[in-house]
Amino acid sequence: MTSLKTASANAAAIVIEDGLLGDPVPLWKQTFKRLTRKRSGQVGLFLIGFMVLVAIFAPVIAPYDPNQVLIGIEQVKRRDPPCVHMFGCDVAKPQHIMGIDGNSRDVFSRLVYGSRISLMIGVVTVSVALITGVLLGSIAGYFGGWTDNVIMRCMDVILGFPSLLLAIAIVAVLGPGIVNALLAISVVSVPGYARVTRASVLSVKSQDFVAASRVLGGSKWRILFTRVLPNALTPIVVLATMGVASGILEAAGLSFLGLGAQPPTPEWGTMLGTEKDQMFSSPHLVFFPGIAIVITVLGFNLLGDGLRDALDPRLNS
């Protein structure tokens, strides 16, 4: 089995970076090193890291409970604009750096707690879609024949619909709510993972080390899951990173349409949708949730770009 492992590692073509001598450097270390050398990777990592920290420390960062109605507690009015004392806001007024929303709640606190929901949405949708898509794609690619045909034609049917439209249709049937929105986004994301996995598996399964495994008597499933799939994951990792961004964006879209997270959940898309009509009278209510979505999505996209470059052997000279 030792020779098999070496063959597998060689097939990945990214084992040894510093010449042919010395111990092989693990793939993740090389990738991280290359990722941090690229500007897009750096910025992506920083933005995502920042968002993750905000999500983890939300109770510490947010000055108010996100659902706390401030009527009768502070002298605030609905949709008050931001008040930052250091920028000249009257110190007698309570400080709300992103203002007050239509239900007299602190926008900043809702935005901070919203980061938890958005990240959760991204991770959950990608996880569900990834597991399902990779499983289906690898089976289709490795076994071929009618299995491949059935699975991939089903994927083609799903791909035949615009993803957001299909997600809206699924939520319309299941009923609005964040769980159904997650399910809908996961379902529409599956074909992407399945296709990429299938293509990758098709390419890897014809490699010599896979043939060697077969000759040595490895079962089909064992070869698929221990030899082929690990070596076919590179493009899927990149796709998954980008997928988090699109998952967040689609969930925000569904919530904006009133089909995703329901009030009083402080979800960014819901916050945008609820106050969209106040764009001209209270622009802060759409500006800040919009910016939060942009930053998070940009972070994941940049990270995905960086990962793609870091994992691409052709760009690693």
Partner 1 sequence: MKRMVFFGAAVAMSMMPAGAALSFEGMSLVAPDCNYGGKIKSIVATDEHTATFTMCSADPAFEAKAAFIVFGIQPSEHIAAAGPTKELLTNPIGTGPFKLDAWNRGDSIILKRNDNYWGTKPAYETLVFRWSTSGASQLNELRSGTVDQISTVSPDDFDAVKNDGDLQFLPIMGPNTLYLGMTNTFAPFDNVKVRQAIAMGIDRQRIVDNYFPDGSELASHFTPCTIPNGCAGEDWYGFDPAAAKALLAEAGFPDGFKTKIYYRDVFRTYLPEPSTIAVEFQSQLKANLGIDAEVAPMESGEFIGQASAGKLDGFYLLGWGADYPHITNFLDYHFGKDTQQFGASLPEIYEPLAKGSAIADVEAAKPVYEAANNAIRELVPMVPISHAAAGSAARAYVKNAGYRPFGAKQFSLVDPGKDTMVVMQNAEPISLYCGDESDGESTLVCTQLTETLLDYAQDSGDIVGGLATSCDPNADGTEWVCHLREGVKFTDGSDFDANDVVASYAAGLDASSPTHVGNTGAFDYFASLWGIMNAPAAQ
Q: Which chain residues interact with partner 1 by CB under 8 A?
A: 67, 69, 71-72, 78-79, 102-104, 258, 262-264, 274, 277-281
Cα dihedral value 161, 164, 167, 171, nearest 10:
-130
Q: How far is the CB of 176 from partner 1 (least distance, A)?
A: 8
222-230 long-range contacts (CB < 8 A, ≥24 apart) are 223/142, 224/138, 224/139, 224/142, 225/138, 227/4, 227/8, 228/138, 228/142, 228/201, 228/204, 229/134, 229/138, 229/201, 230/8
Give the Cα separation of 106 and 119 in Å (integer): 21
d(CA 225, CA 221): 6
- Give the shortest CB-112-to-partner 1 separation in angstroms: 19
**What amino acid occupies position 49?**
G
Which of 24/102 has CB closer to partner 1? 102
Residue 149 Cβ vs partner 1, minimum distance, rounded to whole Å: 41
Q: Residue 104 or 163: which CB sits closer to partner 1?
A: 104
CB–CB of 1/210 below 8 Å?
Answer: no
Please identify, using beta-carbon distances, which residue of 104 and 200 lies nearer to partner 1: 104
Nearer to partner 1, 56 or 165 (CB): 165
Report the SS3 class of residue 152: helix
CB of 103 to partner 1, least distance (A): 5
Q: Using the minimum distance from each CB to partner 1, give the nearer residue, 78 or 214.
A: 78
Among residues 67 and 95, whose Cβ is nearest to partner 1?
A: 67
Query: Closest separation between CB of residue 34 and partner 1, Å?
Result: 48
Minimum distance from residue 201 beta carbon to partner 1 (Å): 44
DSSP 122-149: HHHHHHHHHHHHHHHHHHHHHH-HHHHH
